[in-house]
């Protein structure tokens, strides 16, 4: 299965639309957003995802998501949030996945070495991490889709069969 992972989209309309069209073209099976959407109106752009992806669209909130009530109400129509909205534990393509916007590096490391999850996803730092640990665990930060801090707008596509992740520039 192919899982797209995106983070820190921060209302960047053009990059979101570009990412969505690549996800549709590449026929990914699922999408995980690692937080910092910012405004609920991003729903309008994510709504262009094909139906398969929309049925398998999961997200967590970030520290810049102020309007959580309305994000939950509007984006929540196509994106699955947990009750607290801050963490997700998912199973996709037979892989156990942990998602949070800004776990501390120590937490990510502890989760990775525990082998309790196959894939650990986070965002927030705007820095790409594409790492495969010795125990086969993937630790991924897709970087920033907005490109505001690094001038490099990216997201990731994970192939769960091969357990590799590709970074895609927008």
The residues of the shown chain that bind Mn ion, judged by CB under 5 A, are: 36, 62-63, 124
What's the CA gap between 16 and 23, in Å, rounded? 10
CA 105 to chain centre: 17
The minimum distance between CB 1 and Mn ion, in angstroms, equals: 27
2 or 88, CB closer to Mn ion? Answer: 88
Pick the closer one to Mn ion by CB: 36 or 118.
Answer: 36
Determine contact, residues 137/115, Cβ cutoff 8 Å.
Answer: yes
- Residue 62 or 142: which CB sits closer to Mn ion? 62
42 Cβ neighbours under 8 A, 6+ residues apart: 9, 11, 16, 75
Nearest distance in Å: CB 39, Mn ion: 15
- In the bound complex, what is the minimum distance in angstroms from residue 36's beta carbon to Mn ion? 4
CB 70 → Mn ion: shortest distance, Å?
18
CA–CA gap between residue 29 and residue 50 (Å, rounded): 10
CB of 159 vs Mn ion, minimal distance in Å: 27
The residue among 64 and 130 lying less far from Mn ion, judged by its C-beta, is 64
Considering the complex, state which of residue 64 and residue 82 has its C-beta at the smaller distance from Mn ion.
64
């Amino acid at each position: 299965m192919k899982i797209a992972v995106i983070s820190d989209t921060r209302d960047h309309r053009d990059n979101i639309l570009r990412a969505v069209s690549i996800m549709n073209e590449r026929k990914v099976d699922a999408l995980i957003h690692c937080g910092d959407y910012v405004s609920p109106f991003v729903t309008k752009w994510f709504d262009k995802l094909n139906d398969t992806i929309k049925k398998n669209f999961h997200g967590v909130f970030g520290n810049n998501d102020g309007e959580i009530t309305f994000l939950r109400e509007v984006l929540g129509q196509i994106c699955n949030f947990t009750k607290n909205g801050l963490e997700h534990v998912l199973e996709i393509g037979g892989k156990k996945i942990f998602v949070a916007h800004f776990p501390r590096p120590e937490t990510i490391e502890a989760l990775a070495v525990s082998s309790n999850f196959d894939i650990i996803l986070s965002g927030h730092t705007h820095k790409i991490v594409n790492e495969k640990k010795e125990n086969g665990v993937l630790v991924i930060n897709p970087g920033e889709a907005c490109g505001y801090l690094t001038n490099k707008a990216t997201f990731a596509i994970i192939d769960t069969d091969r357990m590799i992740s590709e970074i895609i520039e927008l």
